[in-house]
Amino acid sequence: MLQPNNRVVMISGANRGIGLAVAQALASAGYRLSLGVRDVNAINAGDFGDDAIVVPYDATSDSAASAWTKATLERFSAIDALVLNAGVMFPVGIEDEKEEELDTMWDVNFKGPLRLVRAAFPALKACGHGRVVNVVSLSGKRVMSGGNLGYSASKFASLSLTHSIRQSGWDDGIRATAICPGLVDTDMVSHVSAPDGEYKITPQAIAATAAYALSLPNEASVAEVLVNSRLETML
């Protein structure tokens, strides 16, 4: 297994929800963290170990990914892993003419992560054990509601990004894992109740999954982790 040993991890959307849980878990494990958030006052670097930084990052900005990557390299001189977590969900179905929401989901859930991977790829290649953990969704694997078309489409694209990273980075030791959870107990789905007798997944459970994916050696790559809180047929 790979040990944290001060490895440097960039986490997007680390100020709340799953991203915050991942940052807390990785800080406890001994990783050095570069936390990309829209509002840098939303968190304190000191809460994430002795050697964490908080950097402005808006996934919709063309230049934010390269600026965040540059700031990370200036501080740590290396990048070992990315956790692509920042995301948004708006209800856009077949008959909804909500172009702005559709474009925002495409930007934040797909193009932003792509720009970040592109910016960090040279550093990930250089370390020989680069890792990308992509927080996708079960909505990137199957469609259960017509009203979720826009989000689902952006997450199917996000899953394709994970597999493209695996293909493009394999020979340089880069391994990518898509984590695809069902309902996780965060602000994003606070308006959705878990069906009777069922539960939402805790952000901490997803954080533990991300930490596990980061720990696997090059010869044990896990491409996708599907995380269910209830029984469903996947294929």
Ligand X SMILES: NC(=O)c1ccc[n+]([C@@H]2O[C@H](COP(=O)([O-])OP(=O)(O)OC[C@H]3O[C@@H](n4cnc5c(N)ncnc54)[C@H](OP(=O)(O)O)[C@@H]3O)[C@@H](O)[C@H]2O)c1
Catalytic residues: 151
Tell me how far apart the alpha carbons of residues 173 and 171 are, in angstroms, rounded to a whole number: 6
Nearer to ligand X, 30 or 182 (CB): 182
| Minimum distance from residue 177 beta carbon to ligand X (Å) | 14
* Closer by beta carbon to ligand X, 8 or else 11: 11
**H/E element, 145:** none
Cα separation, 51 vs 34, in Å, equals: 9
Question: Which among 152, 199, 219 is positioned nearest to 180, based on CA atoms?
Answer: 152
Helix (H, G, I), strand (E, B) or coil at 44: coil
Q: Which amino acid belongs to residue 235?
A: L
Cross-strand pairs, 83: 11, 133
> Position of tokens 């200036």?
74
Q: Report the residue number, 32 or 115, with the smaller CB distance to ligand X.
A: 115
Q: Which of 104, 99, 72, 69 is nearest to 86 (CA)?
A: 104
Summarize as ranges the residues that interact with ligand X (CB under 6 A). Answer: 12-13, 15-19, 38-39, 57-60, 85-89, 108, 135, 137, 181, 183-184, 186-189
* 18: exposed, middle or buried (Cβ count in 10 Å: 0-12, 13-18, 19+): buried
Least distance in angstroms from the C-beta of 126 to ligand X: 26
CB of 218 to ligand X, least distance (A): 26
Alpha carbons within 13 angstroms on the beta-carbon side of residue 193 total: 3
Q: Output 85 or 148, the one with its CB closest to ligand X.
A: 85
Cβ 180 to ligand X shortest distance, Å: 7
